[in-house]
Structure 1
Amino acid sequence: MAATETLTAERILEATEEVLRRYGPAKATVVDVARVLGVSHGSVYRHFRTKAALREAVTERWLERTVVELRPYAEGPGPADERLTGWLTALFGLKRHKAGGDPELMATFQVLIGENSAVVDRHVDHLVGQIARIVEDGHREGVFAAPERDFATTARAVFDATDRFHDPAHAGDWSAPDIGDAFAAVVSLVQRALRP
């Protein structure tokens, strides 16, 4: 990198992800990130005050990708029941791809997620909010019943009911030969439970 002025938070986060992939969370340092960028570690600290803040930001960036990928199902056109199935299927697909496509990075982010519970809570709130929007749209369309309590509570129940297919704690199950059938059965059950 030619000058510190061209250093951006986004470039630092990209480099941090690369360093985490290469060294893992236990060995990755801010000095390693600075070395990849060709700057001093002080330049990195000008954007992120602490190593913990940098790790939190990279975790948030990683989780935000999922929210963005799912947004079309939450906000897009089409019948709500189809959007909900699409949303759940897309979430499961994204999680499976992350777990199988880059297991080292997935293991690294499991550690980071454990360190950043507030980031994870905000992420889950975003996901539950997306489900709530779909369920509320479905109620207006007449395909879903009125919630017993409120749309957010119903959305959280849907999220919790499908936990096996998005919580990385279950990643070991995601390559099982019958996982597709199990997923379809749970989605069908959720859909039936939501209908009027």
Structure 2
Amino acid sequence: MPPSETPLTPERILEATEDVLRRYGPAKATVVDVARALGVSHGTVYRHFRTKAALREAVAVRWLAPEQGDLCVIAEDSGAAEERLRRWLGSLFEAKRRRAGEDPELFATFLALARENSDAVARHIAVLIGQLEVIVAAGIADGEFAADDAAATARALWHATARFHDPAHAHEWHAPETAADFDEVCALLLRGLRP
């Protein structure tokens, strides 16, 4: 069936947008390119997403959702908070590193959105810091961590590990020493949290 005969849904538009972003990159991809890939007018795309920025943010939200879900499972898991925190940080680092390598065009879009301080990225970061807070609060409650304020500690952990998840550092993630650096930072942070 030609693209114009298939019902146009936001999901189809997002899939086409991802393909266009991969083909042209975030700087050159346009809504007209997305519409052309779908066999519709660009006005039709704008009926679902009012602006190019809204469309790009929706792509970022869709792209980040699986990562958030996987990390949520770790955050809400039972077991030692220290082990969960180490696993959560390691999973975040590995997910970012994998996505930067496997899907560089969409990762570049995420980086562009991060630089624009988009709402999608801010919400994503808030969710992830909230997951860290869940782990830290459990560690405090169980006597594993000596922190006073779970929220402040979660924010500090986020900032302390930025080199391993902030897209601005993506060019460093595959360097031979980065994995060892990550292990050293995690060990230091965990020692600092213990009573």
Superposition TM-score, scaled by structure 1 size: 0.91
Match of residue 104 from structure 2: 103
What does residue range 89-128 of structure 1 map to in structure 2 within 5 Å? Answer: 89-128=90-129
Amino acid at match of 2:45: V
Mapped contact 1:25–1:112 kept (Cα < 8 A): no
Match of residue 72 from structure 1: 73
Distance 1:3 1:121 in 2: 37
Cα deviation, residue 74, structure 1: 0.9
Distance 1:151 1:79 in 2: 16
CA RMSD, aligned part only?
1.6
Distance 2:12 2:77 in 1: 31
Runs of 5+ in structure 2 lacking a partner?
none
Greater alpha carbon shift after TM alignment, 61-70 vs 108-117? 108-117
Match of residue 175 from structure 1: 174
Per-residue deviation, residues 65-103 of structure 1 (Å, max 9, x unmatched): 321221111112221111111100000001111122222
Q: Percent identity?
A: 61
Distance 1:193 1:42 in 2: 55
Cα deviation, residue 2, structure 1: 5.1
Greater alpha carbon shift after TM alignment, 99-108 vs 14-23? 99-108
**SS of the residue 2:40 aligns to:** coil
**Count of residues in correspondence between the two structures:** 193
Kindly report structure 1 stretches of 4+ aligned residues shifted beyond 4 Å.
none
Distance 1:159 1:16 in 2: 30
Runs of 5+ in structure 1 lacking a partner?
none
Distance 1:35 1:77 in 2: 49
Greater alpha carbon shift after TM alignment, 119-128 vs 62-71? 62-71
Mapped contact 2:146–2:193 kept (Cα < 8 A): yes
Amino acid at match of 1:180: A
Distance 1:109 1:128 in 2: 18
Amino acid at match of 1:34: A
